[in-house]
């Protein structure tokens, strides 16, 4: 199976605003990829480039092995951040339209979800609440049975229970179909619950990407007597450092064993890891409110 998407030197400028910079990234197929980063980081820009709604200023992006924008539309499901629906059409009309436009449409998935959500198929989309509209858009995306489902902050408008159920549905769809998912989120807990691959984007640049299990197995917190980061072995890459008069704390990435007995070594949570990379781009944010929400 080809990569879900592959970006090489991808960049996007809106006028003079650089929204995405030199993004080189290969996201394997068959994964649930969490794209996280603060407001304005460039997440929607990257996702819109992937579905061909935007054209790159520099570099290139391939989706399911084809240049973005040329992949068969039936293979890609995209739910944009504003969860677009047709206000004057009913839920049932949306499902009929979905069935007509998509060769792989699964009506039982669509109708089953709408029924489970307690939505009235006769209701017009324009009369739905924001969360219900998001549920309709997500239902259309899943029932299309695409090879790649791209979701821009899909759960932002959903209540906590609906969010959990939706992520559960998504994971079941990935297990049952040959489906890759890329979803952007501000919520580390949602990524932790549903994703197995992580991309952190800050200030238009990818800070880190990889399998979540591998990332967690190669990042550590070291606490010990104060020392300069230059004294650490070359295989230990410092992501963040903080010091008191006597003590140093480093968050590091390494593939090697940590042999120095002076350190107390602990592994990072996903939240620690994400916040460390986000802080690296914005040193001044260490003392601020976290830019990612953490909800359990
Ligand atoms: N159409 C546009 N014209 C000019 N600037 C834009 C446009 N769309 C986005 N930007 C800018 O590009 C940057 C990246 O925006 P983008 O929407 O990709 O971020 P994001 O990570 O999705 O943010 P959020 O989490 O708030 O949705 C931001 O600084 C934004 O102001």
Output the pLDDT for position 125.
93
For residue 292, is it within any domain?
A: no
For residue 268, is it within any domain?
A: yes
Instruction: For residue 147, give the CATH number of its domain.
Output: 3.40.50.300
When divided into structural domains, the chain yields a total of 2
Q: Please report the sign of the dihedral spanned by the C-alpha atoms of residue 256, residue 260, residue 261, residue 263.
A: negative
Same domain, 86 and 176: yes
Same domain, 204 and 241: no
Given 209, 230, 248, the domain boundary residue is 209
Ligand 1 centroid to 44 CA: how many Å?
7
Same domain, 98 and 231: no
For residue 223, is it within any domain?
A: yes
For residue 76, is it within any domain?
A: yes
Same domain, 155 and 231: no
- For residue 1, pLDDT over 70 is answered with no
Quick count: other Cβ atoms within 10 Å of Cβ 278? 24
* pLDDT digits 0-9 by tens, 123-145: 999 999 888 888 899 899 989 99
Same domain, 191 and 232: no
**Residue 253 belongs to domain spanning:** 218-287
Strands (E), the chain: 5-14, 17-27, 32-36, 58-63, 66-67, 76-79, 148-152, 180-185, 197-202, 205-211, 219-225, 237-243, 247-253, 264-267
Using the atom order of ligand 1, give the atom closest to the CA of residue 42.
Answer: 18
Output the pLDDT for position 129.
87
Confidence bin at 171 (pLDDT 50/70/90) = confident
* Mutation probe of ligand 1 site: the residue of 20, 23, 36, 41 with most atoms within 8 A of C-beta: 41
For residue 109, is it within any domain?
A: yes
Same domain, 67 and 135: yes
Same domain, 133 and 192: yes
For residue 31, is it within any domain?
A: yes
For residue 224, is it within any domain?
A: yes
For residue 118, is it within any domain?
A: yes
Confidence bin at 285 (pLDDT 50/70/90) = very low
Residue 13 contacts residue 57 (beta carbons within 8 Å): yes
Same domain, 66 and 47: yes
Same domain, 41 and 154: yes
Same domain, 124 and 249: no
* pLDDT digits 0-9 by tens, 231-242: 999 999 999 999
- Whole-angstrom distance between the N-terminal and C-terminal Cα of the chain? 34
Same domain, 80 and 225: no
Nearest CA to ligand 1 atom 24: 39
- Measured CA angle at 151 (ends 106, 75), to 5 deg: 45
Output the pLDDT for position 281.
58
Dihedral class, residue 153 (left if φ above 0, else alpha if ψ from -120 to 50, else beta)? left
CA distance 78 to 209: 22
Residue 248 CB–ligand 1 contact under 6 Å: no
Same domain, 59 and 181: yes
pTM, to two decimals:
0.88
Using the atom order of ligand 1, give the atom closest to the CA of residue 15.
Answer: 4
ipTM: 0.97
Given 174, 209, 244, the domain boundary residue is 209
């Amino acid at each position: 199976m080809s990569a879900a998407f592959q970006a090489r030197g991808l960049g996007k400028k809106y006028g003079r605003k650089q929204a995405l910079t030199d993004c080189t990234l290969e996201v394997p197929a068959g994964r649930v990829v969490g794209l996280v980063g603060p407001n304005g980081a460039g997440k929607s820009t990257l996702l819109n480039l992937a579905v061909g709604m935007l054209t790159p200023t520099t570099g290139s992006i391939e989706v399911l092995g084809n240049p973005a924008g040329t992949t068969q539309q039936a293979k890609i499901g995209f739910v944009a951040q504003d969860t677009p629906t047709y206000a004057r059409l009913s839920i049932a009309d949306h499902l009929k339209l979905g069935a007509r436009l998509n060769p792989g449409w699964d009506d039982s998935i669509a109708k089953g979800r709408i029924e489970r959500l307690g939505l009235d198929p006769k209701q017009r989309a324009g009369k739905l609440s924001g969360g219900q509209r998001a549920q309709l858009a997500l239902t259309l995306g899943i029932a299309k049975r695409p090879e790649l489902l791209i979701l821009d902050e899909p759960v932002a408008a959903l209540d906590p229970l609906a969010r959990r159920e939706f992520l559960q549905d998504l994971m079941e769809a990935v297990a049952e179909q040959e489906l890759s998912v890329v979803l952007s989120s501000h919520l580390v807990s949602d990524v932790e619950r549903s994703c197995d691959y992580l991309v952190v984007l800050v200030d238009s640049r990818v800070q880190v990407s990889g399998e979540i299990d591998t990332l967690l197995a190669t990042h550590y917190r070291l606490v010990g007597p104060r020392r300069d980061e230059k004294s650490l072995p070359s295989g230990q890459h410092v992501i963040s450092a903080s010091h008191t008069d006597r003590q140093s704390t480093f968050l590091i990435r390494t593939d090697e064993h940590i042999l120095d007995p002076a350190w107390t070594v602990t592994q990072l949570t996903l939240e620690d890891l994400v916040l460390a990379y986000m802080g690296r781009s914005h040193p001044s944010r260490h003392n601020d409110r976290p830019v990612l929400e953490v909800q359990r």
